[in-house]
Structure 1
C-alpha cells in the first residue's frame, strides 16, 4: 500500500468575497492521486498566505495560533492514516476525511472492550485464573461505568477519546467519590491500563493516553502479630469448638505462611518426607501456580496431628477442616476479643506473621522466606516482610558487643630498638 499521501492547506477563492475580503482555509487530502477536501473553519486574507511554505505569513499572535491549529490537524490526520496502515485497511482520501470528521465510522467504546475482556476471562476461571480475580475486574468495570455516567452523562465512552484528563479524573473519582485507598484506586487504574494496552496492540488507537501518567501509590504497612500476641493466642483457653478450630488453622498458617485458599485445598498427600528425613509441605500457590516447599515446624505439626481423625479430613483427604473465608474472618474477630488483641484479625494476617515474626525476625534469610511463600519476586516478599524493631535492636546490640570486645583487646607493646642496642653494647656483645 505505497500510495502517495499528501496534505495541503490553501485559501479557497470565492466567487463572492465577504465584506472583509477573507477566504476560507481548506485542507486537501490526497491519496494515490485522488483528492478530498474539507474546510477547517478558519478564514484569512489571501495576501497573508505563503503558498510556498503552506502557512500564514507573519509572527503575530493571530498568525502563530492559526499555524499551530493547522499543525494539530495535520498531526490528527497522520495518526488516522498510520492507524489505517497498521490495521491493513483500504486507504483513500474520502475515508480519511470521514474518519477525521467522525462520519461513517463506528468507534470502539471503552466499556464495550472491558466487558468483552471480562467475558473471556470468566471462561478461564479455574484454568490458570481465579474467581476472585474475576470479581475484581467486575468491580472495576462497575466503577468505570459509574464514573463515565457521572462525568460525561453517557452509558459508554469512545476509546479514542480516553486521554490523560480522563485517567486523572477517574483516579480522583475513585479516591474522593468512592473513598478508595490509594493502593485500591491504583488497582482499578491498572485494569484500565490493561484495556488501553490491549487496544493499542489491536490497532484500535494509535496514541497511548498513559504515556505521561505515573502510578505512585505506595503499599500500606503490613499488619502482623508479634511473638507475644501469637503466644497469647496459642495459649488461650477457648470454650467454643468453632473458635478452637479457627484458632488452630490460623496458627497453622502463621507457622507455614500458606494463604487461605492454599490451606483450604491442602491435601494430606501434599505432606511428604523431605530429603532431610522430616515432614515438608509440597504444594503450589493457587494464585500464581508457583511451587512452595515448606518444612513443617513443630507448632504446625501438632495442629496437623490434632485433626488427622476429623471426619471432613478423612472423607475428603484434606489436611485441615477449613471454614469459608468469610466465616473464618468473622470468627477471628471474636477470637481477638477473647485474647485481648486489638488488631483487626483477618486470615491473611497469618501470612504476614509468618514472614515477619516467625521467620525474618528469627534470622531466616529473606531469599529463603520468599521461596517458602512461593513468590516470583523478592520485591513482593519485601512488602510482606517487615523487619521488627526488636530484631533491629537485637542485631545492633550484637554489633555493639563485638565492637566493645575489639576495643578491649590490648595492642602488643612495640620493642624499643634503641634500648636493645645500648643493652647489647653494655654486655659486650
Structure 2
C-alpha cells in the first residue's frame, strides 16, 4: 500500500465579506492527490489574517480563540486520518473530512452487518433456523467478502455506498466470474 500524506491548510475567502467586515475561514484537507474543503465555522477580519502562517496575527481575544479552534481542527483531523489509515487500505480526503465531521462513525458497514446477522442466525439454529441455512449464509458472506476485496479493492464498504451498480456487479461476479447458477 502506498503511504498517504495528510496536509491540513486554512485560507480565508475575501470575496465573501459580511456586513461586519468578517470573512469565513475555510479548511482544506489533502490526502495524496485528493482534496476536500470544509467550513471551520470561524469568521475573522481580513486584516488580522496571515496567509503564510494560516493563522490570525496578534493576541486579541478573537485571534486567540480562532487560532485555538484551528489548532483543535487540525489535531482532530490528524486523529481521524490515523484512525482511517489503521482501518482502511485506501481512502480519500473526502473520507477524512466525513470522519472529522462525524459522518463516517455512524455509517454501518456491509460485511460487519452481515457478520452480525450470521451471529444471530447461529444462535437461532434448532429454534427457527436450520444448520444448512447457516452454512449457506456463511458461504454467501465469503463470496461477498471476496467480491468486495477483488473488485472494489477494499476490505469493507459502508451500506450507504451500496447502489444498483454494486448489486448488478455482484450478480455478474457470481454468475459470470464464479460461474454459479441462479436459483
Contact 1:4-1:33 within 8 A present in 2 as well: no
How far, CA to CA, are the matches of 1:56 and 1:74 in structure 2? 15
| 1:21 equivalent in structure 2 | 21
* Post-superposition offset of 1:105: 4.2
How far, CA to CA, are the matches of 1:89 and 1:43 in structure 2? 36
Residue 39 of structure 2 is aligned to residue 2 of structure 1 = no
How far, CA to CA, are the matches of 1:93 and 1:39 in structure 2? 14
| 1:39 equivalent in structure 2 | 39
How far, CA to CA, are the matches of 1:18 and 1:88 in structure 2? 41
Residue 20 of structure 2 is aligned to residue 11 of structure 1 = no
How far, CA to CA, are the matches of 1:34 and 1:13 in structure 2? 24
How far, CA to CA, are the matches of 1:42 and 1:106 in structure 2? 25
Deviations 1:369-394 (A, max 9, x none): xxxxxxxxxxxxxxxxxxxxxxxxxx
How far, CA to CA, are the matches of 1:58 and 1:45 in structure 2? 12
Which structure 2 residues correspond to residues 2-401 of structure 1 after superposition, within 5 A? Answer: 2-14=3-15, 17-106=17-106
Which structure 2 residues correspond to residues 417-428 of structure 1 after superposition, within 5 A? Answer: none
Q: Does the residue aligned with 2:14 lie in a helix, a strand or coil?
A: coil
User: For the structure 1 residues 84 and 104, does the alpha-carbon distance in structure 2 shift closer, same or farther, using more than 3 Å as the test?
Assistant: closer
* Post-superposition offset of 1:104: 4.6
How far, CA to CA, are the matches of 2:18 and 2:52 in structure 1? 25
Q: Does the residue aligned with 1:28 lie in a helix, a strand or coil?
A: strand
Q: Where in structure 1 do 4 or more consecutive aligned residues deviate above 6 Å? A: none
* Post-superposition offset of 1:107: 5.7
Q: Whose radius of gyration is greater, 1 or 2?
A: 1
How far, CA to CA, are the matches of 2:18 and 2:60 in structure 1? 23
How far, CA to CA, are the matches of 2:45 and 2:84 in structure 1? 35
CA RMSD of aligned residues (A): 2.2
> TM-score of the superposition, structure 2-length normalised?
0.54
* Post-superposition offset of 1:25: 0.5
Q: Does the residue aligned with 1:9 lie in a helix, a strand or coil?
A: strand
Deviations 1:109-139 (A, max 9, x none): xxxxxxx9xx9xxx9xxxxxxxxxxxxxxxx
Which structure 2 residues correspond to residues 400-415 of structure 1 after superposition, within 5 A? Answer: none
* Post-superposition offset of 1:24: 0.4
How far, CA to CA, are the matches of 2:26 and 2:32 in structure 1? 19
* Post-superposition offset of 1:88: 3.4
User: For the structure 1 residues 17 and 65, does the alpha-carbon distance in structure 2 shift closer, same or farther, using more than 3 Å as the test?
Assistant: closer
For structure 2, the 5+ residue unaligned runs are 109-115, 124-183
Larger relative contact order (Cα-Cα within 8 Å, sequence gap ≥ 6) = 2
User: For the structure 1 residues 76 and 104, does the alpha-carbon distance in structure 2 shift closer, same or farther, using more than 3 Å as the test?
Assistant: closer
How far, CA to CA, are the matches of 2:74 and 2:56 in structure 1? 15
Which structure features the higher share of strand residues? 2
User: For the structure 1 residues 104 and 80, does the alpha-carbon distance in structure 2 shift closer, same or farther, using more than 3 Å as the test?
Assistant: closer
How far, CA to CA, are the matches of 2:81 and 2:95 in structure 1? 10
Q: Does the residue aligned with 2:40 lie in a helix, a strand or coil?
A: strand
Deviations 1:365-418 (A, max 9, x none): xxxxxxxxxxxxxxxxxxxxxxxxxxxxxxxxxxxxxxxxxxxxxxxxxxxxxx
* Post-superposition offset of 1:95: 0.7
* Post-superposition offset of 1:70: 0.9
